[in-house]
C-alpha cells in the first residue's frame, strides 16, 4: 500500500501512521463497518471523483441497513474527501470511506459503541492488474455461495460481508485463477468477489438481477446505461452457470477492477479466447466516461478544485 500524508478521521486530518483504533473496537471483532470504494481520476478538466454522490448515498443506505447513525452527512464526507485529496496532493486516487463501530462495548446490541468515520485516499492501480483490462482474466466458479439475503444483507457494502468474498477470492487464487465468480444461494450466477458480472449472449448483454444477491454496483449501473445508449439490449435476468461457458463474451465491472474482460471460465475459453467486440466497445465508452472524455456523462464527475502546481508524486512516500 502506498502511504500518503493524511487520513481524515472523525472530522480531523491526522498523519497516516496515527490513524489508529483501539484493539477492542467493535468493528474489529464483529465486522460492524460499512464502507465504499471510490476512484478519483485525472481528467483534462482536473481531478474528478466518479459518481461520488452515488457512492455516498450507498454508504448511507448500507449504514441504515445495519442501524448505524452516521455522525456526518454525505455532504460533509464529500467535502472532507475533496480536502483530503488536495492536502495529500492526489490528482488520482482510490478513496476508502469507512464507518465502523468503535470502542465502547463488545455486546452484540451495540448502541454504546460509537460510530467512527474515516476517509483514506491513496494511489492504487487497477485491482486485477493493468494488463487485465486489455488481455482479460481467467475466472473460476467458486465453491462458496454468495451470502444469502436470508442470513445477511447482500445489498449492504458491509465489512463483515467480505469474509465471504475473501474465501472465494482465496480459493480461486490458490487454484491459479485471477478471480472467483460466486453463485447465489439458488445456484444462479451472482457476481465476482468484488465485481458485478455481464455476459454477451446472442448479441444481447445480460446481467444478474437484484434478487440474485448482487451488490448494486455503481459501475454496473453506469455500464447498463452506457450499453443502452450505444444501442445494445441489456437484460437483467437470472443466469444459469452453464451460460457462463456458452457466452460469447463475459466481463466484470467494479470500482477497484474497472471494466475487465473475462477470457476463460473454469478452463472454458470464451469466444476465441480474446476480449470480445461488444466488451471492447462498451469498455472504451466507459473509460471515456471515467476520464471526462464523454460529454454526455460529465454529470457523473465530481470535480475537485486542486491548487495549480500540486504534484502527487512529490507528496507520496511508499
Ligand atoms: C462484492 C462486490 N460486488 C460488486 C462490486 C462492484 O460495485 P461498484 O461498481 O459500486 O464498485 C463490488 C465493489 O465495490 C463488490 O465488492
What per-residue confidence (pLDDT) applies to 311? 57
Looking at the annotation, which residues are catalytic? 157
Task: Give the model confidence (pLDDT) of 104-119 as tens digits.
Answer: 999 999 888 999 999 9
Closest C-alpha among 209, 106, 109, 196 to residue 157: 196
Question: Would you say residue 316 has pLDDT above 60?
Answer: no
Residue 184 vs residues 210, 221, 305: alpha-carbon distances, Å: 11, 20, 42
Backbone φ and ψ of 304, nearest 5°: -105, 130
Supply the pTM of this predicted model: 0.95
The answer to whether the CB of 32 falls within 8 A of the CB of 163 is no
DSSP H or E stretch at residue 286: helix 277-290
pLDDT tens digits, one per residue of 249-282: 999 999 999 999 999 999 999 987 678 999 999 9
Among 157, 164, 193, 212, residue to substitute to test ligand 1 (most atoms within 8 Å of Cβ):
157
Question: With the C-alpha atoms ordered 30, 128, 217, 207, is the resulting torsion angle positive or negative?
Answer: negative
- The closest alpha carbon to 77, from 59, 100, 103, belongs to 59
Which of 55, 195, 300 gets mutated to test ligand 1 (max ligand atoms within 8 A of its CB)?
195
Nearest CA to ligand 1 atom 7: 217
Residues having CB closer than 6 A to ligand 1 are: 37, 165, 191, 194-196, 215, 217-220, 253-255
**pLDDT value at residue 309:** 67
Q: Kindly report, residue by residue over 131-143, the tens digit of the pLDDT.
A: 899 899 999 999 9
What average pLDDT does range 20-31 have in this prediction? Answer: 98
Is residue 246 over pLDDT 60? yes
Three-state SS at 204: strand
pLDDT recorded at residue 287: 97
Q: What average pLDDT is seen over the chain?
A: 95
Reported as a pLDDT band with limits 50, 70 and 90, residue 310 is low
- The reported pLDDT for the residue numbered 272 is 78
**Ligand 1: centre distance to CA 217 (Å):** 5
The partner residues of 171 in beta bridges, in order of sequence, read: none
Tell me how far the alpha carbon of residue 310 lies from the centroid of ligand 1, in angstroms: 31
Q: What is the pLDDT of residue 251?
A: 98
From residue 283, alpha-carbon distances to 97, 259, 279, 287 in Å are: 26, 6, 6, 6
Task: Please say whether the beta carbons of 234 and 221 come within 8 A.
Answer: no
DSSP-assigned states of every residue in 212-261 = GT----HHHHHHHHHHHHTT--EEE----HHHHHH-SEEEEEETTTEEEE
Amino acid at each position: 500500500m502506498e502511504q500518503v500524508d493524511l487520513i481524515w478521521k472523525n472530522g480531523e486530518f491526522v498523519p497516516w501512521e496515527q490513524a489508529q483504533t483501539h484493539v477492542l473496537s467493535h468493528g474489529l471483532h464483529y465486522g460492524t463497518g460499512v464502507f465504499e470504494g471510490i476512484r478519483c481520476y485525472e481528467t483534462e478538466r482536473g481531478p474528478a471523483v466518479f459518481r461520488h454522490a452515488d457512492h455516498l448515498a450507498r454508504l448511507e443506505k448500507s449504514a441504515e441497513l445495519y442501524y448505524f447513525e452516521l455522525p456526518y452527512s454525505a455532504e460533509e464526507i464529500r467535502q472532507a474527501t475533496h480536502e483530503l485529496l488536495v492536502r495529500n496532493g492526489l490528482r488520482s486516487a482510490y478513496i476508502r470511506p469507512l464507518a465502523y463501530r468503535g470502542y465502547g462495548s463488545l455486546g452484540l446490541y451495540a448502541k454504546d459503541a460509537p460510530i467512527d468515520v474515516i476517509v483514506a485516499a491513496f494511489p492504487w492501480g487497477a485491482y486485477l492488474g493493468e494488463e487485465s483490462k486489455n488481455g482479460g482474466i481467467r475466472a473460476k466458479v467458486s465453491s462458496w455461495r454468495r451470502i444469502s439475503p436470508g442470513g445477511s444483507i447482500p445489498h449492504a457494502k458491509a465489512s463483515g460481508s467480505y469474509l465471504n468474498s475473501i474465501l472465494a477470492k482465496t480459493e480461486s487464487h490458490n487454484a491459479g485463477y485471477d478471480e472467483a465468480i460466486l453463485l447465489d444461494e439458488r445456484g444462479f450466477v451472482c457476481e465476482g468477489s468484488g465485481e458485478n458480472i455481464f455476459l454477451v449472449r446472442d448479441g444481447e448483454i445480460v446481467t444478474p438481477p437484484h434478487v440474485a444477491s448482487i451488490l448494486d454496483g455503481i459501475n454496473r449501473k453506469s455500464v447498463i446505461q452506457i450499453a443502452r445508449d450505444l444501442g445494445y439490449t441489456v437484460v437483467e435476468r437470472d443466469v444459469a452457470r452453464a451460460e457462463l461457458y456458452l457466452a460469447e463474451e463475459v466481463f466484470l465491472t467494479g470500482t477497484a477492477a474497472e471494466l475487465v474482460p473475462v477470457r476463460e471460465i473454469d478452463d472454458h475459453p470464451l469466444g476465441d479466447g480474446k476480449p470480445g467486440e461488444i466488451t471492447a466497445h462498451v469498455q472504451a465508452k466507459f473509460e471515456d466516461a471515467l476520464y471526462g472524455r464523454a460529454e454526455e456523462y460529465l454529470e457523473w464527475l465530481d470535480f475537485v478544485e486542486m491548487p495549480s502546481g500540486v504534484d502527487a508524486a512529490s507528496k507520496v512516500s511508499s
